């Protein structure tokens, strides 16, 4: 897409972005997930929901920083949006560039394939031996779905984001399904003209 070439994720990553130690990040996220599992007594659906909510709150604020750092203009199509998300958004926040595949025929749904190594899941191994349902129920990186949902909601896109495959569960790759429901129109508050 010619428009996205104006914004180079690599340059922004190199110059404009404060960085932290990736292992600190990985270990912090790991302890958050492990603590949530303990708090909810291994009710992994609840853990997924919590991670999604946390991600949502992060996403609401993250979009401001993203727009400030990159100055990206409004996208015309959802295809552009997903390109910007993967090439610039993921790049400047996580230094990974997911690939986009599997577009649906109406151009509203696509898959993001997260590359290995995923910074959230370094060193992680789901304890299948002690708890067999963890690998069927927990989506470890669920927070990413929440972030995408929150961020896109602030730019008036209502999306459904969920995981379909996860390397931690034994699949061959990590895949997120991103589906555009509708474009939200700003409503004029009652009483103003």
| Residues making contact with another protein (CB under 8 A) | 23, 26-27, 30-31, 33-34, 37, 116-117, 121-127, 129-130, 134, 167-168, 170-171
What is the smallest separation between the CB atom of 30 and another protein, expressed in angstroms?
A: 3
Give least dist CB 175 to another protein, A: 14
- Cβ–Cβ < 8 Å for 114, 98: yes
| Terminal Cα distance for the chain, rounded | 39
Residues 142, 52 contacting (CB under 8 angstroms): yes
To another protein, the closest distance from the beta carbon of 143 in angstroms equals 14
Element (H, E) at 182: strand 174-183
Complex with another protein: residue 23 or 160, whichever CB lies closer: 23
Minimum CB separation of residue 122 from another protein in Å reads: 7
Distance CA 161, CA 143 (A): 11
Q: Is 70 left (phi over 0), alpha (psi -120 to 50) or beta?
A: alpha
Q: Which is nearer to another protein, 71 or 170 (CB)?
A: 170
Nearer to another protein, 15 or 129 (CB): 129
């Amino acid at each position: 897409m010619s428009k996205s070439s104006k914004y180079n994720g690599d340059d922004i990553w190199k110059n404009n972005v404060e960085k932290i130690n990736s292992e600190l990040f990985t270990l912090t996220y790991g302890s958050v997930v492990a603590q949530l599992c303990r708090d909810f007594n291994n009710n992994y659906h609840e853990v997924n929901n919590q991670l999604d909510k946390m991600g949502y709150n992060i996403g609401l604020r993250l979009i401001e920083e993203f727009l400030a750092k990159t100055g990206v203009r409004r996208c015309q199509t959802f295809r552009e949006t997903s390109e910007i998300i993967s090439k610039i958004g993921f790049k400047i926040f996580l230094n990974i560039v997911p690939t986009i595949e599997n577009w649906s025929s109406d151009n509203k749904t696509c898959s993001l394939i997260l590359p290995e190594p995923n910074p959230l899941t370094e060193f992680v191994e789901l304890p299948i031996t002690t708890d067999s349902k963890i690998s069927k129920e927990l989506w470890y990186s669920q927070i990413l779905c929440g972030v995408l949902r929150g961020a896109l909601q602030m730019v008036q896109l209502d999306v459904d984001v969920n995981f379909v495959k996860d390397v931690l569960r034994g699949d061959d790759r990590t895949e997120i399904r991103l589906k555009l429901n509708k474009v939200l129109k700003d409503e004029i508050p009652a009483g103003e003209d």
